[in-house]
A and B are shown apart, each in its own frame.
Chain A
C-alpha cells in the first residue's frame, strides 16, 4: 500500500474489496469494488455498513467512475472512496471534487505534485461532492 494516497484520518480497511455482485450476495462485507459498468446505485441500500468503496479506472479516459462517486456521496455515503487503477496526476482534482478521498494509482505519483494539483484551482463553478461552495454562492454571499 506504499502508493496509497489518503486524504482522511481514519484507519484504512485492511482487507480486499469484493465485487459488487459478490457484495450483494454476502452483504456482511464492508469493502466493495466498483467496475466501470457497475451500477453504483445497487449499493445504496447498504451504504451504512460499507467502509471502503474502490472505484476502478481501467483506463483514465473512462469517466463513468466520476458519476459513480458522486452518486454515492449524494446518497450520504461517508466511508472511504478510493480511485484505483489508471489514475494520473491530472485527474486527481476532478476526482476529489466528485467525492474521492483516496487514490491508489497503478503508477506512483510524486507527492509534491499531488499537493500542487489539488491546490491549483482557487474555486469551482459548480457544486459537486466535495462540499465546496460554488462561485455563484461566493459571489452572492
Chain B
C-alpha cells in the first residue's frame, strides 16, 4: 500500500493551507460564491440540498486501517454519524459545515488522504479493480500504475479546466470488475507476445445522459510510455472537446463526433510530439511505487478448506468470497446493503469495526468497491467463521454480494440538488420485496439513478431504474440488459415508466419471468440476452 513520502505530504499539506485560505476569503466575503465554487469543487466540496457534501478520495479504492478509522471518526465528529461509500470508490459525507471543511482536510492529510480533484472539471480519482493484488486472474497488480496516474494527474496545470470532468480506471485482468469501458479513459494492462507489459487504451466511455462504451484507441501502449500517451489523450480533449454545451462536453462526445479512428490519429500525432519532451516518469519511479504494493507476507501451508457446517455462514461464504492468488486465503466482501438499508452507508462504529477487522485479519488493508461495498482483500480461510460472527453482530453480515439486494443507488432526491426522483426508498423497497427470492435469482446487478446524470449507473444494470420527473411527479423508467463487466452493454428502456410502487412491482415481474424461463446456469442477463426484450414487455405491459 502506498505510503506518502515527504514530497507527497508537502503537496497535500500545501493544498490544505491553500483551501483554508480560500474558505477564509469566502467566509470574509472576499470571494463570491461563483468564484469560490470551482475552488471548493476542486476540493470535493459540493453544495447539496441541505448542507455541504464532502467527497474524500480513496485512490483506487485502497485504504489501511488507520485511514478507515479516521473516516469513521470524521463521520462522528463532523457529520451525523454516517459515511456514504460511492460508486467511484470514494466516501462522501452529506452534512458538512463549510467552516469545518479545512479541519477535515487537515485530519485527512495526517493519514495520507485528501479530497483533491474529487469534483470539478479535472482528472478525478483513478479507480481500479477492488481485488487488485489479491485476484487470482490478474496479469499484474494494477495499483502501482493507478498511483502513477494519481501523481501525474494531481494539480496537473494544463488539465485543471477541462471541458468536463474526467474519470480514469486501470485494471489488469480479463474480468472487468471496475466498469473500465464506461470511463473517459479505461486502461487494461496486458502482456504482449514478447511478454512485455503495456496498456490497452479505451477512450470515450461514460454514462450520463448519452451513455457510450469506450472504443479501443490503441491496443498496446508500452508501460514506459503510458503517462505520455495519457497526456496526449487529454491534450487533444482539452483543445478540441466541446465547450459550447455542458451536456456534450465529455470526451465521449468528442470521440464519437470525430470517430475513434480520427481521434486516435490526433492522439498519435500529439503522442509523437510529447515523447520528445521527456515527461514520462522513469522506470525507477514505477519500481519505487510498485515496491510499496509488494504482496503481504502470506503464510504458506495453510489449509485451503472452509468449515461450512453452519448453514447461515455457508450461505454467506458461498456468496461473498473471491478466489485469492495465495492458497489458504480469500478476498471477502462486506456487503453494505442490508435489506431495507441505504446502499453504501455505514455508521461510524461500523467503519471503525471494519478498520479493526482489517488490522486483525487482512494485513491492515481494505478496499472500497464501485458497487459500494467494502473488501477485506487478504483473509485466511481459517479465520472466516470468527470474522463472520463479528460482521453479523455489527449488522454487516448480509450474504447478498451481486444479488438483487446488492443494489447500487445514487443519493437521489433525498440529498442531491439535481435529482428528479428518490433513489434510496426505491432501492429499499426492491430489496425488501426480493429478499426472499434473491438467493434463488442469483447474480443480478440492479442500479438506480435519481436523474439522467446516471450516478447510479442505471445504463449498466442488468436491471436499471432511472428516476424522471413527469409533470411534477416522480416517475421511474425501467431498463434491461446492461452490463458494466467484460461483457459490457447498455440497457434499453422497456417502455412507459412507472410510479414508485409500480416500478417495484415491475422489477418483481421481470425477475419472476426470468425464474420461469431460465435455462441451466443462466443469469438474469443471459436469459434476457437469449429471449430478448419482448417477453419482458409482455409481462410488464401486456
From known contacts A88-B35, A122-B14, A139-B285, infer whether A63 and B7 are also in contact, taking CB-CB under 8 Å: no
- Name which of B126-134, B149-157, B444-452 contacts chain A: B149-157
- Name which of B51-59, B271-279, B348-356, B473-481 contacts chain A: B271-279
**B18 located at the interface, meaning its Cβ lies under 8 Å from any Cβ of chain A in the complex:** yes
**A90 located at the interface, meaning its Cβ lies under 8 Å from any Cβ of chain B in the complex:** yes
Give B130-173 as 1s and 0s: 1 = Cβ < 8 Å from A's Cβ atoms: 00000000000000000000011011111111110000000000
- Name which of A1-9, A16-24, A77-85, A125-133 contacts chain B: A125-133
Q: When the two chains form their complex, are residues B38 and A61 in contact, meaning their CB atoms are under 8 A apart?
A: yes
For chain A, residues 55 to 114, give those with C-beta under 8 angstroms from any C-beta of chain B: 60-64, 66-68, 70, 74, 88, 90-91, 93-98
Q: When the two chains form their complex, are residues B5 and A67 in contact, meaning their CB atoms are under 8 A apart?
A: no
Q: When the two chains form their complex, are residues A126 and B152 in contact, meaning their CB atoms are under 8 A apart?
A: yes
Q: Which residues of B contact A138 (CB under 8 A)?
A: 7
In the assembly, what is the distance between CA of A50 and CA of B18, in Å?
A: 36
In the assembly, what is the distance between CA of A97 and CA of B14, in Å?
A: 16
With CB as the reference atom, state the residue of chain B lying closest to A97. B157
With CB as the reference atom, state the residue of chain A lying closest to B39. A90
Q: When the two chains form their complex, are residues A121 and B155 in contact, meaning their CB atoms are under 8 A apart?
A: yes
Q: When the two chains form their complex, are residues B11 and A122 in contact, meaning their CB atoms are under 8 A apart?
A: yes
Q: Which residues of B contact A127 (CB under 8 A)?
A: 277-279
Q: When the two chains form their complex, are residues B38 and A123 in contact, meaning their CB atoms are under 8 A apart?
A: no
In the assembly, what is the distance between CA of A134 and CA of B35, in Å?
A: 29
Q: When the two chains form their complex, are residues A66 and B10 in contact, meaning their CB atoms are under 8 A apart?
A: no
**B453 located at the interface, meaning its Cβ lies under 8 Å from any Cβ of chain A in the complex:** no
Please pick, from A61, A70, A121, A123, the residue contacting B161 in the complex, using a CB distance under 8 A.
Answer: A61
Q: When the two chains form their complex, are residues B17 and A63 in contact, meaning their CB atoms are under 8 A apart?
A: no
With CB as the reference atom, state the residue of chain A lying closest to B285. A136
**B360 located at the interface, meaning its Cβ lies under 8 Å from any Cβ of chain A in the complex:** no
Q: When the two chains form their complex, are residues A125 and B152 in contact, meaning their CB atoms are under 8 A apart?
A: yes
**B121 located at the interface, meaning its Cβ lies under 8 Å from any Cβ of chain A in the complex:** yes
With CB as the reference atom, state the residue of chain B lying closest to A74. B277
Least Cβ–Cβ distance between B155 and chain A, in angstroms: 6
With CB as the reference atom, state the residue of chain A lying closest to B122. A63
With CB as the reference atom, state the residue of chain B lying closest to A57. B161
Q: When the two chains form their complex, are residues B162 and A63 in contact, meaning their CB atoms are under 8 A apart?
A: yes
Q: When the two chains form their complex, are residues B155 and A67 in contact, meaning their CB atoms are under 8 A apart?
A: no
**A15 located at the interface, meaning its Cβ lies under 8 Å from any Cβ of chain B in the complex:** no
Q: How large is the interface on A (under 10, 10 to 19, 20 to 34, 35 or more residues)?
A: 35 or more
Q: Which residues of B contact A122 (CB under 8 A)?
A: 7, 10-11, 14
**B235 located at the interface, meaning its Cβ lies under 8 Å from any Cβ of chain A in the complex:** yes
Q: Which residues of A contact B471 (CB under 8 A)?
A: none
Q: Which residues of A contact B151 (CB under 8 A)?
A: 125-126, 135-136
For chain B, residues 14 to 29, give those with C-beta under 8 angstroms from any C-beta of chain A: 14, 17-18, 21-22
A-B CB contacts (within 8 Å), total count: 99
Please pick, from B11, B39, B162, B288, the residue contacting A139 in the complex, using a CB distance under 8 A.
Answer: B288
In the assembly, what is the distance between CA of A90 and CA of B157, in Å?
A: 12
Q: Which residues of A contact B157 (CB under 8 A)?
A: 66, 93-98, 124, 126, 128
For chain B, residues 22 to 47, give those with C-beta under 8 angstroms from any C-beta of chain A: 22, 35, 38-39
Q: Which residues of B contact A60 (CB under 8 A)?
A: 38, 161
Q: Which residues of A contact B285 (CB under 8 A)?
A: 136, 139-140
In the assembly, what is the distance between CA of A108 and CA of B243, in Å?
A: 27
Q: When the two chains form their complex, are residues A98 and B288 in contact, meaning their CB atoms are under 8 A apart?
A: no
Please pick, from B17, B18, B281, the residue contacting A136 in the complex, using a CB distance under 8 A.
Answer: B281
Q: Which residues of A contact B156 (CB under 8 A)?
A: 125-126
With CB as the reference atom, state the residue of chain B lying closest to A125. B151
Q: Which residues of B contact A67 (CB under 8 A)?
A: 158, 235, 238-239
Please pick, from B7, B159, B161, B284, the residue contacting A135 in the complex, using a CB distance under 8 A.
Answer: B7
Q: Which residues of B contact A91 (CB under 8 A)?
A: 161
**B282 located at the interface, meaning its Cβ lies under 8 Å from any Cβ of chain A in the complex:** yes
In the assembly, what is the distance between CA of A70 and CA of B232, in Å?
A: 13
Chain A CB within 10 A, most for which of B22, B157, B235 = B157
Give B229-250 as 1s and 0s: 1 = Cβ < 8 Å from A's Cβ atoms: 0000001001100010000000
Q: Which residues of A contact B14 (CB under 8 A)?
A: 120-122
Q: When the two chains form their complex, are residues A124 and B155 in contact, meaning their CB atoms are under 8 A apart?
A: yes
Least Cβ–Cβ distance between A90 and chain B, in angstroms: 6
Q: Which residues of A contact B22 (CB under 8 A)?
A: 90
From known contacts A64-B238, A90-B39, A120-B18, infer whether A140 and B284 are also in contact, taking CB-CB under 8 Å: yes
Least Cβ–Cβ distance between B127 and chain A, in angstroms: 19
With CB as the reference atom, state the residue of chain A lying closest to B36. A90
In the assembly, what is the distance between CA of A61 and CA of B278, in Å?
A: 28
With CB as the reference atom, state the residue of chain B lying closest to A107. B35
With CB as the reference atom, state the residue of chain B lying closest to A137. B282
Q: When the two chains form their complex, are residues A70 and B11 in contact, meaning their CB atoms are under 8 A apart?
A: no
Q: When the two chains form their complex, are residues A94 and B11 in contact, meaning their CB atoms are under 8 A apart?
A: no
In the assembly, what is the distance between CA of A60 and CA of B8, in Å?
A: 28
Least Cβ–Cβ distance between B20 and chain A, in angstroms: 11
Least Cβ–Cβ distance between A61 and chain B, in angstroms: 5
With CB as the reference atom, state the residue of chain A lying closest to B278. A127
Q: Which 7 pairs show the lowest CB-CB distances between chains A and B?
A: A63-B161, A97-B157, A94-B157, A136-B285, A136-B281, A66-B158, A125-B151
Given contacts A63-B159, A74-B277, A124-B155, 9 further A-B contacts (CB under 8 A): A74-B273, A94-B155, A95-B157, A96-B157, A97-B157, A98-B158, A127-B279, A140-B285, A140-B288
Q: Name 9 A/B residue pairs within 8 A (Cβ), A-sorted.
A: A60-B161, A64-B238, A74-B277, A97-B157, A123-B10, A127-B279, A128-B157, A139-B5, A140-B284
- Interface set of B (CB-CB < 8 Å, partner A): 5, 7-8, 10-11, 14, 17-18, 21-22, 35, 38-39, 121, 151-152, 154-163, 235, 238-239, 243, 273, 277-279, 281-282, 284-285, 288
